[in-house]
Amino acid sequence: MPPKTLTSTDRLQLLLPWLNGDLGRDVSRARPARWRVEERRAFDRGADENVQTWIDYQQVRAAVDDFVKSFDGSEGAAHLVAKPTDKVEALSEAALDRLGAALTCLLEQGFGEPMLQGDLCPLVLTGVELAACPAPREKPRWRKATKANPRVVLVGPSGLGAQARRDWLASGAYVLRVRGPLVAVVPYLAAHLLLRAGMVALKRCARRDQPPWADCHKVFVIDPTRRGRPQQFCATSCGRRYKEQEKMMKSRRRRGRKKS
């Protein structure tokens, strides 16, 4: 089976499970078997400290690696070729956390978050080197004469003879080579995907900023070329939960009105 051609949406999709927090889970601190009053108060006061997030960094590294390696200069890769100077295995957990924060900030900036705008959270990419190169091309070769094909002919990847020569000598389509440390190369690649017209469209889950259900901060990508009803929620299960909660809140409000 030929390898699947990745689209720009597929590429960004590689990073989203990580950035949406799907590669981690909350681990609660064990509750004491028997509560004393002051213990319960302390537990309630430090509610945030009682939950720790465990992140599967092995999966995070695999996702970053797949994302970077997918930049091969093709159309769906926004004509970028990534040449990182370090290995993803060498990135510490803290470095991955910082990279995740920078990427999340980049995605959120597009939604006009006032606290994340350019002057407050600029994206500083140290060590990124750019170079324009001609798109990789295969040189045509002479095919030797055989009994079946007695003619000596030029063979190129897209044609024979004059066609092969024309393709080889055609004016070059540029690709941009991006070299540097992964912590800088990855945000550069992501920003480039987001900024090119018609590449990817990013959306926030409809459950965001919907008090009292403001509990989904996920973003998802939609294919701008797909037709039909636009997706509203990050997942079908999220939409289902929203409907259930809405129903619950409605009946609660109704009961409240009856009482008064």
Which region among 70-78, 139-147, 184-192, 235-243 touches Zn ion (by CB under 5 A)?
Answer: 235-243
For 43, the 3-state DSSP assignment is helix
Residues 6+ apart with CB under 8 A from 80: 71, 73, 175, 176, 177, 178, 189, 192
- Per CB under 5 A, 202 contacts Zn ion: no
Which region among 10-18, 90-98, 106-114, 214-222 touches Zn ion (by CB under 5 A)?
Answer: 214-222
Neighbours of 193 (CB within 10 A): 23
Out of 216, 219, 220, 221, which residue is the one contacting Zn ion (CB under 5 A)? 216
Q: How far apart are CA 229 and CA 96, in angstroms?
A: 36
Strand duo 129-134 + 174-180: pairing: antiparallel
> Minimal distance in Å, beta carbon 102 to Zn ion?
23
> Minimal distance in Å, beta carbon 221 to Zn ion?
14
Out of 178, 190, 205, 221, which residue is the one contacting Zn ion (CB under 5 A)? 205
Which region among 19-27, 98-106, 165-173, 206-214 touches Zn ion (by CB under 5 A)?
Answer: 206-214
> Minimal distance in Å, beta carbon 218 to Zn ion?
5
Out of 74, 231, 238, 245, which residue is the one contacting Zn ion (CB under 5 A)? 238
Radius of gyration of the chain (CA): 26
Identity of residue 46: G
Q: How far is CA 65 from CA 59, 90, 179, 221, in A?
A: 10, 12, 15, 20
Which region among 53-61, 173-181, 204-212, 243-251 touches Zn ion (by CB under 5 A)?
Answer: 204-212
Q: Which residues bind Zn ion (CB under 5 A)?
A: 205, 207, 216, 218, 234, 238
